[in-house]
Amino acid sequence: MEKRWVQVDQEENETSEKLARELNIDQCLANILVQRGVTTFEEARYFFRPQIAQLHDPFLMKDMEQAIERITSALQNDEHILVYGDYDVDGTTAVALTYSFFSQFTNKIAYYIPDRHKEGYGISTAGIDFAKENGFTLIIALDCGIRSVDKIAYANTLAIDFIICDHHLPGDELPDAVAVLDPKRADCEYPFKELSGCGIGFKLAQAYCQINNLPDQYYEQYLDLCMVSIAADIVPIVDENRVMAHFGLAKLNSNPCTGLKALMQISGKSDSYTITDVVFLLAPRINAAGRMGHAKDAVKMLLSDEVILADEQSTFINSQNTERKSFDQNITLEALAIIEESEVLMNRKTTVVFQSDWNKGVIGIVASRLTEKYYRPTIVLTESNGNYTGSARSVVGYDLYEALLACSDLLEQFGGHKYAAGLTIKPENLIPFTEKFEEVVSASISPNLLIPEIKIDATIELSQIDAKFYRILTQMAPFGPQNMAPIFVSNGVSLAGNAQVVGANHLKLSIKQQNSAIFEAIAFGLGEFEKLLQPKQTFAVCYTIEENVWKDKKRLQLNIKGIKIEGSI
């Protein structure tokens, strides 16, 4: 698929020149820092060396005092507390963190994860009834609840109090809970708005420690769980998230909780984890519990203190992930066939596909795969409890949530983010919704957004890449949204040997520039260039820089994202 190469403005100025001098780094690296909001030596110090002290005061969050007061009262009066959370990675890590933290102060605490297939997303009537039947008088809801106005009203009639810890966009009306912790509240002045759901739970624990003068270790021990949620939920890795991700990765790689350690071992990589490793190795396995069975199995693993139990749970979850792969591959093939056999669907700016027997737990993954394939806003639906329920995914730069809002008259329920959402629709509204969704997106999406973008941070010569250059790059990690691994472009490069296809459709090659060393490179999914690249021909490449370790030998390698044979940028 064609991709747009978009170069970030890299004009050198006094700020970046001064920063380059003060830090003794390459000018292009200083430019990248300035592009990312790092403009002074002091800011660079905090960027390269995050400190726990950079975390914001949790009491700056609206309703935090009320939340701590209600929890304190519950603990003092021996009330039964129920920790309630969503069934995805963010929700399960949030439940594990909050349950484990408050278990240090009471044994009258339990957790509840709704059944994805029977109860669906968010606060459920069944969950509230469970609380009532079992004597729980306080529910702490994590990664959900901000739009559960009617459910919280129902709980109030049963004398069950709620504390909402959510990070999704609120609706016009807030739930009538004892406390609603959500930085996205219009009246919340908390300085960072992009915490994960687990991050809100972390701030709750931090606040409790702060008010009770408890050692920081009481809540800092959960930084690995918090980091996993940050990676999996694809929240911006800036500000507080960057601090928590940095220290969370350090803990994961040195002293992870027993459950995560077991999961790391069964994933085939037991150390040196990056955010990318968490996203591709740990997150899918944790998610698989809720997709293929019940997410409480993931929480049970994350809470395991005994190695044997953690190993058993991680083995079970790993088997569920293997089963999940089979389901999503088959459903993806079926969805592709539906699209490619329809001229109407092939020529649309949106994709909406439905089949009644698709597994509800994997349709979000399928929606992501279809979005990657056709690069347009996509919705995948299946039948559930008499309605059609589904997952939606968007392309970079397009607000999917706003598009769904414009179609809300045809939806029973929806919620989510700019790039991912869930929805429920009545069967008779499927065709009208499909048509309206296409109309709304067609009228509001820029044609450029339907072409994948490669955002290039700087143009450099291959000769600039050395050990020091790479060392500075690695200190910009952890990488993620709003702090992605820098992508460089080099023009006028040529082959330094043969290019060959390896694996499914990957290109392995060696390249050089005039006066540069030879660099080994890998270009995933770009095997078609094997026959297009000729000896002595010059071309442009855009790439990230990584370290390849083979038989204990380390060397720098270019991970090529795109190749342009004609001209340069």
CA angle 72, 78, 79 (to 5 degrees): 80
Query: Taking a C-beta distance cutoff of 8 angstroms, is the pair 179, 163 a contact?
Result: yes
Pick from 247, 232, 297: nearest CA to 55: 247
Q: What are phi and psi of 562, to 5 degrees?
A: -165, 155
Residue 114 in tokens: 């709704």
Question: How confident is the model at residue 275, as a pLDDT?
Answer: 97
CA-to-CA dists, residue 42 to 14, 39, 240, angstroms: 16, 9, 17
Cross-strand pairs, 111: 83
Query: With respect to CATH, is domain 342-450 assigned 1.10.3720.10?
Result: no
- Kindly report the length of the chain: 569
Cross-strand pairs, 483: 480
Query: Taking a C-beta distance cutoff of 8 angstroms, is the pair 351, 316 a contact?
Result: no
Residue 23, amino acid: L
CATH of domain 58-318: 3.90.1640.30
Question: How confident is the model at residue 567, as a pLDDT?
Answer: 54
CA angle 360, 366, 372 (to 5 degrees): 155
Query: Taking a C-beta distance cutoff of 8 angstroms, is the pair 208, 71 a contact?
Result: yes
Question: How confident is the model at residue 383, as a pLDDT?
Answer: 95
How far, in Å, CA of 378 to CA of 441, rounded?
Answer: 11
- For residue 468, what are the contacts with CB-CB under 8 A and spacing of at least 6? none
Q: Residue 254, by phi and psi: left (phi above 0), alpha (psi -120 to 50) or beta?
A: alpha
- For residue 3, what are the contacts with CB-CB under 8 A and spacing of at least 6? 451, 452, 453, 454, 562
Residue 272, amino acid: S
DSSP 280: I
Question: How confident is the model at residue 11, as a pLDDT?
Answer: 64
CATH of domain 4-8+453-564: 2.40.50.460
Query: Taking a C-beta distance cutoff of 8 angstroms, is the pair 503, 525 a contact?
Result: no
Beta carbons within 10 angstroms of residue 280's beta carbon: 13
Residue 542 in tokens: 């855009």
Residue 486 in tokens: 């820098």
Which H or E run contains 66?
helix 64-76
Query: Taking a C-beta distance cutoff of 8 angstroms, is the pair 27, 16 a contact?
Result: yes
Beta carbons within 10 angstroms of residue 358's beta carbon: 23
How far, in Å, CA of 547 to CA of 557, rounded?
Answer: 6
How far, in Å, CA of 506 to CA of 140, rounded?
Answer: 48
Query: Taking a C-beta distance cutoff of 8 angstroms, is the pair 64, 182 a contact?
Result: no
Q: What is the DSSP string of 213-277?
A: T--THHHHTTHHHHHHHHHHTT---SHHHHHHHHHHHHHHHHS--HHHHHHHHHHT--S---HHH
| β-strands 179-181, 161-165 pairing | parallel
Question: How confident is the model at residue 117, as a pLDDT?
Answer: 81
Chain center to CA of 112 = 23
Beta carbons within 10 angstroms of residue 566's beta carbon: 6
How far, in Å, CA of 31 to CA of 45, rounded?
Answer: 16
Question: How confident is the model at residue 10, as a pLDDT?
Answer: 65
> What pTM did the predictor assign?
0.91
pLDDT along the chain (569 residues), means of 10: 82 86 94 94 95 97 98 98 96 98 98 90 94 98 96 98 95 96 97 98 98 97 98 94 98 98 96 95 95 94 96 96 94 97 94 95 94 96 93 95 96 87 95 98 96 94 94 95 95 92 93 90 94 90 91 89 77
Q: Which pairs from 300-308 meet CB under 8 Å and 24+ separation?
A: 301/259, 301/262, 301/263, 302/92, 302/93, 302/96, 302/225, 302/257, 302/259, 302/260, 303/96, 303/99, 303/100, 303/259, 304/258, 304/259, 304/262, 305/258, 306/258, 307/258, 307/262
Question: How confident is the model at residue 553, as a pLDDT?
Answer: 83
Query: Taking a C-beta distance cutoff of 8 angstroms, is the pair 180, 142 a contact?
Result: no
| β-strands 539-550, 488-495 pairing | antiparallel
Residue ranges per structural domain of the chain: 4-8+453-564, 58-318, 342-450
